[in-house]
Amino acid sequence: MSSCKHEGDGRMGQNTRCIIARALCVAGLSLPLLGFSACLSGDAPKRLPQAIKDYELFDGSFYGAGESPVAPQAMESITEDRTPDGLPSSRVGAKPYLDCIHYDETGFMRAVEYAAPYRIEGEMLAATSPHFLPAMSFTANILSTLMQEGQKGHEMQKGQGQPSLTIFLVAANHSGEGLPLIVADRGWSTPFGNLEFDEEATTAILNSPYLADKIDIDLFHLQNDHSAATLTPFIKYYLPQAQVVTILLGRDCPLGQLQALADIIYEISRLKPVFVLASVDFSHFLHIEETAKRDEITDALIQAGDIQAIKYLDDGNMDSPESIITLINYAALYPDAQVERRDHIILPESETKKDIGYSYNTYIFFIN
């Protein structure tokens, strides 16, 4: 993959990008030599308007254009209390994989049966997916599209010396417990085999100076929250060679950290194939007519990339504004990125509560 597809980066200057590139190399990510210097030296085209804000961080300081989300010293600080892979030893549990305890074979196979890959003029960068099983044919739509596209040329055998696709799976922390960012230091045991995690990308995120104080590896919440777990069998089924970075985002995660996370993902995407999948269910608990109205509001805000307004939405609109914001911030780093809503359905709560609506949507972000 040529890294020159990213030469439209409008956020960071040449020096900053070189610092980040060196930092990622320390984490084990190899820079492609061909084309990288040309990308850095080119004039940056106009960026998308929603990628230019300065946002408050946890400590009251601000993160904005020109900041480096990955510091070399952070990547190099592999101290004695860390495991050989660079992860804090106190965070590493005994089991090598997380269990897919929410897997339901009947519901899964029904979703796969009704999968309908999208026709897309261009390259998918990211998408939203439901995590409610009756609506997860939408998930199958997304991942079968990646599969049929040859994963944008990403799903390559490691024996060929090419990187496999890394999926950044960002999802709601429904419990509200734990730190604002929760990351998995391992993959998932699925009915279709083990879904490996991307150790290098995970290490880069854990060691970011802008995330370090409010990020943790919390296996209990990762495994027990269905928001990310329900998607992992679909990933393994459709993209068997893919790796995953699993992240739960809390409602208390500020915009500054969400922008820093998107920037880290973007810089990693310069080095290896990446897709961002945001696990989000939309309007909950409202009368079905109000559900439709909320969907219209949500759609307008997503189309506009208005992350300031999206941050303050609640379950009446979506269960994880933070996952949507991460996805919008990431896509905004690409010139001419576009967003479309491809799937939409409102389901009743139950047979006895048909007047209460639950909304599920698929948004895809792509470039031509």
Asked if pLDDT for residue 366 goes beyond 90, the answer is: yes
Instruction: Please say if the pLDDT value at position 183 is more than 60.
Output: yes
Dihedral angle, C-alpha 44, 256, 172, 304, nearest 10 °: -50
40-65 in b/e burial notation, b at 16+ Cβ within 10 A?
beeeeeebbebbebebebeeeeebeb
**pLDDT in the model for residue 163:** 64
pLDDT digits (tens, 9 = 90+) for 325-340: 999 999 999 988 999 9
Count of other CB atoms within 10 angstroms of residue 172:
26
Domain ranges within the chain, ordered by starting residue: 3-367
**Contact present, 263 and 17 (Cβ < 8 Å):** no
Going edge to edge, which strands form the sheet with 193-195?
Answer: 97-99, 187-190, 193-195
The domain covering 3-367 belongs, at the CATH homologous superfamily level, to LigB-like (3.40.830.10)
278-298: per-residue pLDDT in tens? Answer: 999 888 889 989 999 999 999
Residue 7 banded pLDDT, cuts 50, 70, 90:
very low
Nearest to 346 by CA among 274, 269, 288, 299: 288
Tell me the C-alpha distance between 154 and 218, whole Å: 29
**Average of per-residue pLDDT across 6-27:** 42
| Gap between the Cα atoms of 288 and 134, Å rounded | 17
Asked if 19 and 209 touch (Cβ cutoff 8 Å), the reply is: no
Residue 193 pLDDT greater than 70, yes or no? yes
Query: What DSSP element (H or E) covers 20?
Result: helix 14-26
Cα radius of gyration (the chain) = 19
Cβ atoms of 345 and 295 within 8 Å: the answer is no
Inform me whether the pLDDT recorded for 72 exceeds 90: no
Region 172-196: mean pLDDT is 94
